[in-house]
Protein backbone atom coordinates (compact mmCIF):
# COMPACT_ATOMS: atom_id res chain seq x y z
CA UNK A 1 0.00 0.00 0.00
CA UNK A 2 1.45 3.42 -1.00
CA UNK A 3 1.68 6.22 1.62
CA UNK A 4 -0.53 9.27 1.02
CA UNK A 5 0.84 11.95 -1.31
CA UNK A 6 0.99 15.54 -0.10
CA UNK A 7 -1.58 17.25 -2.32
CA UNK A 8 -1.57 21.05 -2.02
CA UNK A 9 -2.72 22.39 -5.39
CA UNK A 10 -5.95 20.71 -6.38
CA UNK A 11 -8.10 21.27 -9.44
CA UNK A 12 -11.81 20.45 -9.28
CA UNK A 13 -13.50 19.85 -12.62
CA UNK A 14 -17.18 20.70 -12.10
CA UNK A 15 -19.97 19.57 -14.39
CA UNK A 16 -22.91 21.91 -13.66
CA UNK A 17 -25.57 19.59 -15.12
CA UNK A 18 -24.54 16.11 -13.93
CA UNK A 19 -27.04 14.08 -11.94
CA UNK A 20 -29.55 16.96 -11.96
CA UNK A 21 -27.86 18.01 -8.70
CA UNK A 22 -27.82 21.68 -7.67
CA UNK A 23 -24.13 22.64 -7.43
CA UNK A 24 -24.55 26.37 -6.84
CA UNK A 25 -22.88 26.20 -3.42
CA UNK A 26 -20.40 23.43 -4.23
CA UNK A 27 -17.51 25.69 -5.19
CA UNK A 28 -17.73 27.72 -1.95
CA UNK A 29 -18.03 24.53 0.14
CA UNK A 30 -15.01 22.89 -1.50
CA UNK A 31 -13.01 26.13 -1.31
CA UNK A 32 -13.71 26.53 2.42
CA UNK A 33 -12.96 22.86 3.08
CA UNK A 34 -9.57 23.09 1.33
CA UNK A 35 -8.57 26.48 2.77
CA UNK A 36 -9.23 25.28 6.33
CA UNK A 37 -6.81 22.43 5.72
CA UNK A 38 -4.06 24.43 4.00
CA UNK A 39 -4.93 23.24 0.49
CA UNK A 40 -5.51 25.42 -2.55
CA UNK A 41 -8.56 24.61 -4.67
CA UNK A 42 -8.97 25.80 -8.28
CA UNK A 43 -12.00 25.17 -10.48
CA UNK A 44 -12.62 24.26 -14.11
CA UNK A 45 -16.24 24.27 -15.30
CA UNK A 46 -17.22 21.97 -18.12
CA UNK A 47 -19.37 23.40 -20.91
CA UNK A 48 -20.12 20.27 -22.94
CA UNK A 49 -18.05 21.72 -25.84
CA UNK A 50 -14.38 20.83 -26.44
CA UNK A 51 -13.95 20.09 -22.73
CA UNK A 52 -11.14 17.57 -23.19
CA UNK A 53 -8.92 19.86 -25.26
CA UNK A 54 -9.51 22.81 -22.92
CA UNK A 55 -8.89 20.72 -19.81
CA UNK A 56 -5.67 19.24 -21.18
CA UNK A 57 -4.42 22.72 -22.01
CA UNK A 58 -5.38 24.02 -18.57
CA UNK A 59 -3.57 21.17 -16.81
CA UNK A 60 -0.48 21.72 -18.97
CA UNK A 61 -0.39 25.36 -17.96
CA UNK A 62 -0.59 24.72 -14.20
CA UNK A 63 1.11 22.54 -11.60
CA UNK A 64 -1.64 20.55 -9.95
CA UNK A 65 -0.94 17.78 -7.45
CA UNK A 66 -4.32 16.14 -8.12
CA UNK A 67 -7.42 16.70 -10.25
CA UNK A 68 -10.87 15.83 -8.90
CA UNK A 69 -13.79 15.10 -11.21
CA UNK A 70 -16.97 16.52 -9.63
CA UNK A 71 -19.72 14.99 -11.75
CA UNK A 72 -20.94 11.65 -13.07
CA UNK A 73 -19.29 8.94 -15.15
CA UNK A 74 -18.94 11.19 -18.21
CA UNK A 75 -17.07 13.80 -16.17
CA UNK A 76 -14.88 11.15 -14.52
CA UNK A 77 -14.06 9.76 -17.96
CA UNK A 78 -13.23 13.25 -19.27
CA UNK A 79 -10.80 13.95 -16.42
CA UNK A 80 -9.37 10.42 -16.55
CA UNK A 81 -8.72 10.84 -20.26
CA UNK A 82 -6.85 14.10 -19.60
CA UNK A 83 -4.76 12.47 -16.84
CA UNK A 84 -4.04 9.04 -18.38
CA UNK A 85 -0.33 8.55 -18.88
CA UNK A 86 0.55 11.36 -16.42
CA UNK A 87 1.65 11.13 -12.78
CA UNK A 88 -1.13 13.45 -11.55
CA UNK A 89 -3.75 11.33 -9.71
CA UNK A 90 -7.49 11.44 -10.30
CA UNK A 91 -9.85 12.08 -7.38
CA UNK A 92 -13.61 11.61 -7.67
CA UNK A 93 -16.44 13.60 -6.05
CA UNK A 94 -19.39 11.47 -7.19
CA UNK A 95 -22.07 13.90 -8.37
CA UNK A 96 -23.80 12.08 -11.22
CA UNK A 97 -26.85 9.87 -11.52
CA UNK A 98 -24.99 6.56 -11.72
CA UNK A 99 -21.40 7.14 -10.50
CA UNK A 100 -20.38 3.66 -11.67
CA UNK A 101 -16.58 3.91 -11.57
CA UNK A 102 -16.55 5.58 -8.15
CA UNK A 103 -18.69 2.74 -6.76
CA UNK A 104 -16.41 0.13 -8.33
CA UNK A 105 -13.44 1.84 -6.67
CA UNK A 106 -15.17 2.00 -3.25
CA UNK A 107 -14.96 5.80 -3.27
CA UNK A 108 -17.32 7.33 -0.68
CA UNK A 109 -20.51 8.63 -2.28
CA UNK A 110 -20.89 11.26 0.42
CA UNK A 111 -19.23 14.60 -0.45
CA UNK A 112 -17.28 15.34 2.73
CA UNK A 113 -15.93 11.79 2.96
CA UNK A 114 -14.86 11.89 -0.69
CA UNK A 115 -13.01 15.17 0.01
CA UNK A 116 -11.10 13.47 2.84
CA UNK A 117 -9.23 11.59 0.11
CA UNK A 118 -7.20 14.78 -0.37
CA UNK A 119 -5.01 13.80 2.60
CA UNK A 120 -6.07 10.29 3.54
CA UNK A 121 -5.73 7.99 0.56
CA UNK A 122 -3.74 5.41 -1.25
CA UNK A 123 -2.89 5.61 -4.92
CA UNK A 124 -3.73 2.76 -7.27
CA UNK A 125 -2.70 2.62 -10.94
CA UNK A 126 -5.55 1.22 -13.01
CA UNK A 127 -5.85 0.12 -16.63
CA UNK A 128 -7.74 2.17 -19.20
CA UNK A 129 -9.15 1.17 -22.58
CA UNK A 130 -9.44 2.63 -26.05
CA UNK A 131 -12.69 1.57 -27.71
CA UNK A 132 -12.69 2.51 -31.39
CA UNK A 133 -10.06 5.12 -30.49
CA UNK A 134 -12.22 6.63 -27.70
CA UNK A 135 -10.92 6.62 -24.13
CA UNK A 136 -12.84 4.38 -21.70
CA UNK A 137 -12.15 4.05 -17.98
CA UNK A 138 -15.16 2.02 -16.89
CA UNK A 139 -17.54 0.20 -19.29
CA UNK A 140 -18.55 0.40 -22.92
CA UNK A 141 -21.25 -1.53 -24.72
CA UNK A 142 -23.03 -2.28 -27.96
CA UNK A 143 -26.59 -3.50 -28.34
CA UNK A 144 -29.56 -2.99 -26.07
CA UNK A 145 -28.04 -0.82 -23.31
CA UNK A 146 -26.30 1.47 -25.84
CA UNK A 147 -29.68 2.05 -27.50
CA UNK A 148 -31.37 2.85 -24.18
CA UNK A 149 -28.53 5.19 -23.15
CA UNK A 150 -28.83 7.02 -26.47
CA UNK A 151 -32.60 7.48 -26.05
CA UNK A 152 -32.03 8.53 -22.43
CA UNK A 153 -29.36 11.13 -23.32
CA UNK A 154 -31.57 12.59 -26.05
CA UNK A 155 -34.64 12.68 -23.81
CA UNK A 156 -35.77 15.46 -21.52
CA UNK A 157 -35.85 13.50 -18.26
CA UNK A 158 -32.86 12.13 -16.37
CA UNK A 159 -32.76 9.76 -13.40
CA UNK A 160 -33.21 5.98 -13.00
CA UNK A 161 -37.01 6.13 -13.56
CA UNK A 162 -36.54 7.53 -17.08
CA UNK A 163 -33.95 4.87 -17.89
CA UNK A 164 -36.25 2.02 -16.81
CA UNK A 165 -39.20 3.49 -18.76
CA UNK A 166 -37.14 3.73 -21.98
CA UNK A 167 -35.71 0.22 -21.44
CA UNK A 168 -39.21 -1.26 -21.17
CA UNK A 169 -40.41 0.59 -24.29
CA UNK A 170 -37.37 -0.51 -26.37
CA UNK A 171 -37.31 -4.12 -25.14
CA UNK A 172 -40.52 -5.16 -26.90
CA UNK A 173 -39.31 -4.34 -30.44
CA UNK A 174 -35.59 -4.88 -29.96
CA UNK A 175 -33.80 -6.89 -32.71
CA UNK A 176 -30.44 -8.23 -31.44
CA UNK A 177 -27.51 -7.92 -33.86
CA UNK A 178 -25.00 -10.60 -34.83
CA UNK A 179 -21.38 -10.03 -33.79
CA UNK A 180 -18.03 -11.48 -34.75
CA UNK A 181 -15.53 -10.81 -31.98
CA UNK A 182 -11.90 -11.69 -32.53
CA UNK A 183 -9.71 -11.42 -29.43
CA UNK A 184 -6.07 -12.35 -28.84
CA UNK A 185 -7.47 -15.56 -27.23
CA UNK A 186 -10.49 -16.72 -29.27
CA UNK A 187 -13.13 -15.88 -31.84
CA UNK A 188 -16.81 -15.59 -30.96
CA UNK A 189 -19.60 -15.39 -33.50
CA UNK A 190 -23.24 -15.11 -32.57
CA UNK A 191 -26.28 -13.00 -31.91
CA UNK A 192 -26.24 -10.99 -28.71
CA UNK A 193 -28.71 -8.85 -26.80
CA UNK A 194 -25.79 -6.77 -25.58
CA UNK A 195 -22.01 -6.85 -25.68
CA UNK A 196 -20.19 -5.08 -22.85
CA UNK A 197 -16.50 -4.23 -22.96
CA UNK A 198 -15.59 -4.17 -19.29
CA UNK A 199 -12.58 -2.61 -17.65
CA UNK A 200 -14.47 -2.58 -14.34
CA UNK A 201 -17.35 -4.57 -12.80
CA UNK A 202 -20.56 -2.70 -12.14
CA UNK A 203 -22.88 -0.28 -13.92
CA UNK A 204 -24.02 2.80 -11.97
CA UNK A 205 -27.37 1.01 -11.67
CA UNK A 206 -25.58 -1.65 -9.52
CA UNK A 207 -25.89 -4.29 -12.28
CA UNK A 208 -22.74 -6.45 -11.94
CA UNK A 209 -21.79 -7.24 -15.52
CA UNK A 210 -18.24 -8.46 -14.84
CA UNK A 211 -18.08 -9.97 -11.35
CA UNK A 212 -14.39 -10.73 -10.85
CA UNK A 213 -12.74 -8.39 -13.38
CA UNK A 214 -9.68 -6.60 -12.01
CA UNK A 215 -9.00 -2.99 -12.87
CA UNK A 216 -5.23 -3.36 -12.94
CA UNK A 217 -4.48 -6.80 -14.40
CA UNK A 218 -3.70 -5.67 -17.96
CA UNK A 219 -6.79 -7.52 -19.26
CA UNK A 220 -10.40 -6.65 -19.95
CA UNK A 221 -13.53 -8.74 -20.40
CA UNK A 222 -16.15 -8.87 -23.12
CA UNK A 223 -19.41 -9.79 -21.41
CA UNK A 224 -22.13 -11.18 -23.67
CA UNK A 225 -25.81 -11.55 -22.98
CA UNK A 226 -27.30 -13.71 -25.72
CA UNK A 227 -30.95 -13.45 -26.78
CA UNK A 228 -33.24 -14.91 -24.12
CA UNK A 229 -36.95 -15.69 -23.94
CA UNK A 230 -39.11 -13.21 -22.05
CA UNK A 231 -39.65 -15.82 -19.32
CA UNK A 232 -35.91 -15.78 -18.53
CA UNK A 233 -35.68 -11.97 -18.12
CA UNK A 234 -36.41 -11.83 -14.39
CA UNK A 235 -33.89 -14.60 -13.65
CA UNK A 236 -31.16 -12.85 -15.65
CA UNK A 237 -31.89 -9.53 -13.93
CA UNK A 238 -31.68 -11.27 -10.55
CA UNK A 239 -28.30 -12.77 -11.49
CA UNK A 240 -27.03 -9.38 -12.63
CA UNK A 241 -27.98 -7.78 -9.33
CA UNK A 242 -26.52 -10.58 -7.21
CA UNK A 243 -23.04 -10.88 -8.68
CA UNK A 244 -23.89 -14.10 -10.57
CA UNK A 245 -23.44 -13.06 -14.20
CA UNK A 246 -21.87 -16.38 -15.21
CA UNK A 247 -24.70 -18.55 -13.84
CA UNK A 248 -27.03 -18.08 -16.83
CA UNK A 249 -27.00 -20.18 -20.00
CA UNK A 250 -27.52 -16.89 -21.88
CA UNK A 251 -24.30 -15.22 -20.67
CA UNK A 252 -20.60 -15.67 -21.36
CA UNK A 253 -17.40 -13.72 -20.91
CA UNK A 254 -14.25 -13.48 -23.03
CA UNK A 255 -11.10 -12.32 -21.20
CA UNK A 256 -8.48 -10.70 -23.39
CA UNK A 257 -5.90 -7.98 -24.05
CA UNK A 258 -7.22 -6.82 -27.39
CA UNK A 259 -10.32 -7.36 -29.49
CA UNK A 260 -11.96 -6.48 -32.78
CA UNK A 261 -15.76 -6.30 -32.83
CA UNK A 262 -17.67 -6.58 -36.12
CA UNK A 263 -21.42 -6.07 -36.30
CA UNK A 264 -22.98 -8.04 -39.11
CA UNK A 265 -24.41 -5.80 -41.84
CA UNK A 266 -23.39 -2.56 -40.09
CA UNK A 267 -20.57 -0.26 -41.12
CA UNK A 268 -21.33 2.01 -38.17
CA UNK A 269 -22.60 0.99 -34.77
CA UNK A 270 -23.98 2.72 -31.72
CA UNK A 271 -21.61 2.33 -28.77
CA UNK A 272 -22.03 3.53 -25.20
CA UNK A 273 -18.69 4.56 -23.70
CA UNK A 274 -18.57 5.59 -20.02
CA UNK A 275 -22.21 6.68 -20.23
CA UNK A 276 -21.97 8.60 -23.53
CA UNK A 277 -23.59 7.25 -26.74
CA UNK A 278 -21.36 7.44 -29.84
CA UNK A 279 -21.53 6.25 -33.46
CA UNK A 280 -18.39 4.32 -34.43
CA UNK A 281 -17.04 2.73 -37.61
CA UNK A 282 -16.90 -1.06 -37.48
CA UNK A 283 -14.98 -3.23 -36.87
CA UNK A 284 -14.33 -1.59 -33.51
CA UNK A 285 -10.83 -2.14 -32.15
CA UNK A 286 -10.41 -2.39 -28.37
CA UNK A 287 -6.98 -2.02 -26.76
CA UNK A 288 -5.79 -1.72 -23.18
CA UNK A 289 -3.29 0.68 -21.65
CA UNK A 290 -2.13 -1.19 -18.53
CA UNK A 291 -1.97 0.82 -15.27
CA UNK A 292 -2.09 4.10 -17.15
CA UNK A 293 -4.24 6.06 -14.66
CA UNK A 294 -3.41 6.87 -11.03
CA UNK A 295 -6.49 7.10 -8.80
CA UNK A 296 -6.95 8.30 -5.19
CA UNK A 297 -8.76 5.65 -3.13
CA UNK A 298 -9.69 5.24 0.51
CA UNK A 299 -6.99 3.33 2.41
CA UNK A 300 -9.59 0.65 3.09
CA UNK A 301 -10.90 0.26 -0.49
CA UNK A 302 -11.42 -3.35 -1.53
CA UNK A 303 -9.16 -4.72 -4.29
CA UNK A 304 -11.92 -6.48 -6.28
CA UNK A 305 -12.22 -3.94 -9.06
N1 LIG B 1 -22.08 22.95 -18.98
C2 LIG B 1 -22.62 21.90 -19.58
N3 LIG B 1 -23.82 22.02 -20.22
C4 LIG B 1 -24.40 20.97 -20.83
N5 LIG B 1 -23.85 19.74 -20.87
C6 LIG B 1 -22.68 19.55 -20.24
C7 LIG B 1 -22.01 20.61 -19.56
N8 LIG B 1 -20.87 20.11 -19.04
C9 LIG B 1 -20.81 18.80 -19.38
N10 LIG B 1 -21.89 18.46 -20.09
C11 LIG B 1 -22.23 17.12 -20.58
O12 LIG B 1 -22.48 16.28 -19.44
C13 LIG B 1 -22.30 14.91 -19.82
C14 LIG B 1 -21.59 14.16 -18.73
O15 LIG B 1 -22.40 14.10 -17.60
P16 LIG B 1 -22.02 13.07 -16.43
O17 LIG B 1 -21.88 11.70 -17.00
O18 LIG B 1 -20.89 13.59 -15.66
O19 LIG B 1 -23.32 13.11 -15.52
P20 LIG B 1 -24.58 12.14 -15.47
O21 LIG B 1 -24.86 11.66 -16.86
O22 LIG B 1 -25.66 12.88 -14.78
O23 LIG B 1 -24.10 11.00 -14.50
P24 LIG B 1 -23.78 9.45 -14.69
O25 LIG B 1 -22.99 9.31 -15.97
O26 LIG B 1 -23.02 9.02 -13.48
O27 LIG B 1 -25.12 8.77 -14.81
C28 LIG B 1 -21.50 14.95 -21.12
O29 LIG B 1 -22.36 14.58 -22.16
C30 LIG B 1 -21.09 16.40 -21.28
O31 LIG B 1 -20.98 16.77 -22.62
Indicate the pTM of the whole model. 0.93
What mean pLDDT is predicted for residues 39-54? 97
pLDDT tens string 186-207: 999 999 999 999 999 999 888 9
Closest ligand 1 atom number to CA of residue 158: 22
What's the mean pLDDT in 196-220? 94
State the distance from the centre of ligand 1 to the C-alpha of 252, rounded, in angstroms. Answer: 31
| Planar angle of CA 286, 87, 8, nearest 5 degrees | 135
pLDDT of res. 157: 74
Ligand 1 atom nearest 94 alpha carbon: 26
Do 9-121 and 134-290 agree at the fold level?
no
Residue in 46, 102, 150, 205 to alter for ligand 1 test, most ligand atoms within 8 A of Cβ = 46
77 touches ligand 1 (CB under 6 Å): no
Q: Is the CB of 97 under 6 A from ligand 1?
A: yes
Q: Report the mean per-residue pLDDT for the chain.
A: 93
The span from the CA of 262 to the CA of 108, in Å, is 38
pLDDT in tens, 142-185: 999 999 999 998 887 766 778 888 999 999 899 999 999 999 99
CA 17 to centroid of ligand 1, rounded, Å: 6
Question: What are 92-141's pLDDT values in tens digits?
Answer: 999 988 899 999 999 999 999 999 999 999 999 999 999 999 999 999 99
Q: Which CATH architecture has domain 134-290?
A: Sandwich (2.60)
User: Is 102's C-beta closer than 6 angstroms to any atom of ligand 1?
Assistant: no
Dist CA 238 CA 108 (whole Å): 25
Give a three-class secondary structure readout of 197-258.
Answer: EECCCECCCCCECCCCCCCCCCCEEEEEECCCCHHHHHHHHHHHHCCCHHHCCCEEEEEECE
Give the burial class of 289: count Cβ atoms within 10 A of its Cβ; 0-12 exposed, 13-18 middle, 19 or more buried. Answer: middle
> Are residues 243 and 264 in contact, defined by beta-carbon separation less than 8 angstroms?
no
pLDDT score, position 20: 78
User: Domain limits of the chain?
Assistant: 9-121, 134-290
Q: Is the ipTM of this complex over 0.90?
A: yes
Class assignment of domain 9-121? alpha beta
Whole-Å CA distances, 78 to 69, 179, 270: 8, 29, 20
Q: How far is the CA of 129 from the centre of ligand 1 (A)?
A: 20
**pLDDT reported for residue 21:** 83
- Closest C-alpha to ligand 1, atom 14: 74
Neighbours of 279 (CB within 10 A): 10
Cα of 185 vs centre of ligand 1, distance in Å, is: 36
Amino acid sequence: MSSPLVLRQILFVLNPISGDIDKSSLEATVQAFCTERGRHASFFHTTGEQDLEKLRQHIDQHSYDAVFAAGGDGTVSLVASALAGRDIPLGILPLGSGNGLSKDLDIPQEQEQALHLIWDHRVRAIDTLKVGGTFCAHLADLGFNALVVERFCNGDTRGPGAYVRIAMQEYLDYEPATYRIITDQETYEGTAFMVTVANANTFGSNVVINPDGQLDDGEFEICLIEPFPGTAAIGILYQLYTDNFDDSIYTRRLRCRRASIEVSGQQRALVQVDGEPLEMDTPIQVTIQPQSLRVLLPQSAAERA
